[in-house]
Amino acid sequence: MASRSTGGSTIVGKEHARSVARELQLERSASRPVLFHGPTMLPLLRDGDGLEIVPVRAEEIQLGDIVVYREQDKYPTRRVVGFNPARTEFFIQADYTPARLFCIPATALLGRVEARLRDGKRLHRTSVRWRWAAWSASYRKNFLKIFRRYTRGR
């Protein structure tokens, strides 16, 4: 649909306005959840899940939180596994592929995933199930090592 204006153009161009509007859309996700796509946050998040995302300051983010950040015109969603003392950089990884570690600047952070909506049910990040997923995602690698060592020894 073509844009409509009562006069000339604004300083903020259409494309810039669109990217800002997308971020506003993210901020409004509590009333209109955004969709999650992809397998990389399995098993907690899967294709088609609705997410509620709340803007947060870098100081409020804790280890294990799932955050959404800006990467060009995409909005990757991954788990925080570390940060520097000044919290200017965050280390994140996907639950399903924990071998890859990403480092993102705090300025790219857009918000924290507060809840997942699936089949009409809402799972909040403070729930036991969510916390278990966060915990197991962080320690899965070590679990696997211990498990393999244990099974090899038997």
Partner 1 sequence: MNLQYSIDQNNSAWRIVDGEAVLINAETTFYYGLNSTATRIWMLLLEEDLTGAEISGRIAPDFNKTSAEISQSVDALLQELAQEKLLTGKELSNPPVLAEDILNGRPSGPISASAWDTPRITRYDTLESLVVCGE
| Residues at the site binding partner 1, with contacts judged by CB under 8 A | 1, 3-12, 14, 16-18, 20-29, 31-32, 34-41, 45, 51, 53, 68, 74-78, 94-96
Q: Could you give the CA distance from residue 136 to residue 96 in angstroms, rounded to a whole number?
A: 11
Peptide linkage before 43 cis (omega within 30 of 0): yes
C-alpha distances out from residue 87 to 27, 75, 105, Å: 22, 20, 9
Q: Shortest distance, CB of residue 87 to partner 1, whole angstroms? A: 22
Provide, rounded to whole angstroms, the least separation between the CB of residue 96 and partner 1.
7
Give least dist CB 42 to partner 1, A. 8
**Closest of 63, 66, 57 to residue 115, by C-alpha:** 66
Q: How far is the CB of 122 from partner 1 (least distance, A)?
A: 17
Task: Supply the minimum distance, in Å, between the C-beta of residue 138 and partner 1.
Answer: 16
| Cβ proximity to partner 1, 86 vs 99, nearer residue | 99
Q: Which is nearer to partner 1, 12 or 146 (CB)?
A: 12
**Dist CA 149 CA 28 (whole Å):** 47
**Peptide bond before 98: cis, by omega within 30 degrees of 0?**
no
Closer residue to partner 1, CB minimum distance, 51 or 61: 51
Closest to partner 1 by CB, 57 or 152 = 57
Q: What is the CA radius of gyration of the chain?
A: 18
Task: State the Cα–Cα distance between residues 90 and 68, nearest whole angstrom.
Answer: 12
Which residue, 30 or 146, is less far from partner 1 as judged by CB? 30
